[in-house]
Structure formats: C-alpha cells, structure tokens
Amino acid sequence: MLLAKVFSNIYKEDGIILIDAQGQKYICGNPRKENPITVKLLKDNLNWKLVLDPELEFPEAYMRNEITIENASLKDFLMDLVKNLGRRELSSASYISKRIFQLWRYLSNFNLPGKSRKNVEHHYDVGGEKGEKLYDIFLDTKHRLYSCAYWKENTKTLEDAQQNKIDHIIKKLNIKKGQKILEVGCGWGGMAFEIAKQKNCEVKGISLSTNQINYCKKKAKELGLDNQVNFELADYREIKGKFDRIYSVGMFEHVGKKFYKIFFESMNKLLKENGIFLLHTIGVVDKPSPPNKFINKYIFPGGVCPSFSQIIKPIEKTGLIVSDSETLIRHYDKTLEKWLERFLSRKREVKDLFDDKFVKMWEFYFASCAAAFRYRDLAVFQLQIVKNFQSANRTRDYIYS
C-alpha cells in the first residue's frame, strides 16, 4: 500500500498502525507496544487520495467521519506526525499538487475591497449572531483577542499571555499621551480599549467584519470609552487622515500578495512624519509558498502567510524603514493549544450552534496549525516601521526596561 510506505518514510521516531477499509493492518515506523496510535481509513479511495493531496483530503475525510484515530487525540496524532515530517513535503505527488495550487492562486486571487469583505465575513461573521457566541467559547475572557499571545517563562494563563502581548506592542509603539492611533484590523477591540486606558489616547479601529464593529461599538459604551475609541466598518484603502501610531495585528494575512505594496503605501500615507507603525503577522520561515489548501478553503479564504522576503520587498519600494524586527517562535502553538482545549471542553455547545462537521473542522484547524507552528514552517513576525531615522530608538531599552 503506497500510503503505508509514505507514512513509514515519515516516521523516524515512534509510528502508527494504519488500517485500510478492508481491515488490512500496516505497521508504519515503530509504534509504541501498548495502545499504539491507530489510524483507520473507512473508504477505499483514501488509499490514493491521501497520497495525492493530503493537505485537503485528510481533513475533509476526518470531517466526514471517514477517518478515525484511536489511542490518541487528533492533536496528539498531528503533533507526532508533523514532528517527524518537519519542513519536508509528505510526498512528491503532494508537492506537485501544492505547486499547481500556488500557480492557480496567483492567477485567480485578487483581494479587492469587495472580495476582502466577503473573505472576512466568511470567518469572523460565521453564523451571524451564533458566531459571536463561538468566539466567546475559546478566546481569552479579558480582551477577546484572536491573535498570537506572548508567553513568558512564568506565564500560566491565556489571559495573562494576551495581556503580555498587548503590553509588548504598546512598548514597541512607544506611545505618548494624547497621540492619535489607528488599528488596522481591530478584531473585538481589546487592544484598542487597553491602549486608550493605559495611554489616554484617541484610538480608531477598522474592520471588515460587521459582527466585530457592532461588538466593539457596544463594548466601548459599556466601558465608558466611546469618547476615546471609535470603530468603523472600512477597508484600509478607504481611510483618510494622519496618525501618530499605527498597528496591525493578525490582519496582514488577509491582504493578498498582489496588494502588499498598496498596503504599505497606504500605511505610509496615513503615518505622520515622526510616526511609528507596528506590523504583527503570521509568516513562513521558508521561501514563499502556497497557502494551506484546507485553511484556504474552509477557514480563511483569500488568506496567505507571507515569507519574510515578501514583506520586506514592498516596504523597501515605499521608502519606509524597518527599525526593529522580532520573530516570535513557540508562542502561537501554545496559544492555539489553549484555544483548542477551551473549544473541545465546550464542543457540545458548538455542535448545538452549528453541527458535528463544524466541530471537526475547527478541531482540525486549531490542532494542525498548532503542529505547524511547533514543528513546521510557521512563526510570527513583528516589524516596527518608521519613515525616518529620527523616529527610531537607538536601543531596545525602552521596550524591556
């Protein structure tokens, strides 16, 4: 069986027992003797589908209950598999399939304002009002942040890790009292509210999600911050004005490669001469690569994680200057694990809101991304960007003091 050979080539440590639809067992690698991880295929065609296009066929089969995993959770199986796979491709066939997809995406994907709005609505406005309940289930209770947290050695909770992230970004922005701030991709407003409270600033947040903007406006009134913080349903290309500080956390992944230069030109236009812009984005540590097929189809349509080189080149073309760069490694895997843990602890509620397929889809989303951040090619880039040398700090003392 070709699939069994593929798995056997992957597993250098540990292993699994693979059982096909006919009940035939295959030992792949060196599975543990007691309660070995066992993967059962319940459809004959999975024998070849999982070789040709594992990135999409495996999660889809899992969602259809055509694959079962015994003696391990989905997350544990994926962690073990990706640990052994590393940054290699699963097979030559899957590599060719990904390259074809990369070419098709380049030719077909145009994140113009209307398309961008639909892509954002697919994820953040999922299920209408039900979507708001969904995010309450797994996000931190303090700020409701849907981006990578910042885990210090002594950080124990998701709430503390997200507070760490906010504080870290506030320090990098070096915000002064009374400055005018813009958040591009405001989520549910947690960071904007915290900046307004900590620094007594005027903050404007924008998003293409109706759910997010409605939530933010309501929350601003509840917190008594509606005189400091305002939110607008708008695309970054539509904003006018000048800002002392701009930051964007977890939004750049939705911009699209063809629009990177336009994005940075927009930030350059909106940023005051002595301003600071902070970009926080998921990225790949390898050369430019196509987006994950499953994530692109079911979770974030139109999304892509840029390589470092793809970020830097359009910045150079706009005349902006990268004054500080930090790569956050082993932060998002832990964040995703916490989200998955909370999500699964209340999966009955999620099933009632949506259905069993949705539960499995999002379980795979969290688990596969956690594995990719821990063992494969994903990291988070934080870039501090300025317009001139005078706006840059000479050392990092102001961040860590």
Residues marked active site are found at 369
Hey, what are 63's tokens? 């969602």
C-alpha span between 4 and 374 (Å, rounded): 25
For 248, the token pair is 């964007």
CA angle 358, 359, 363 (to 5 degrees): 115
β-bridge partners, 40: 19, 68
- Spatial separation of the C-alpha atoms in residues 74 and 336, rounded to whole Å: 14
Q: How far apart are CA 344 and CA 192, in angstroms?
A: 29
Helices and strands (H and E) in the chain: how many:
17, 11
Running DSSP on this structure, what letter comes out for residue 230? Answer: E
Residue 245 neighbours by CB under 8 Å, 6+ apart: 173, 175, 179, 180, 181, 182, 275, 276, 277, 278
Count of residues making up the chain: 401
For residue 219, the surrounding DSSP H or E stretch is helix 210-223
Q: What are phi and psi of 191, to 5 degrees?
A: -75, -40
Give the residue from 399, 397, 247, 381 showing the smallest Cα distance to 326. 381
Residue 377: count of CB within 10 angstroms of its CB: 16
| Contact yes or no for 81/14 (Cβ under 8 A) | no
| Exposure letters 318-353 (e unless 16+ CB within 10 A, then b) | bebeebbeeebeebbbbbbbbbbebbbeebeebeeb
Q: Both tokens of residue 71? A: 């003696």
CB atoms within 10 A of CB 146: 20
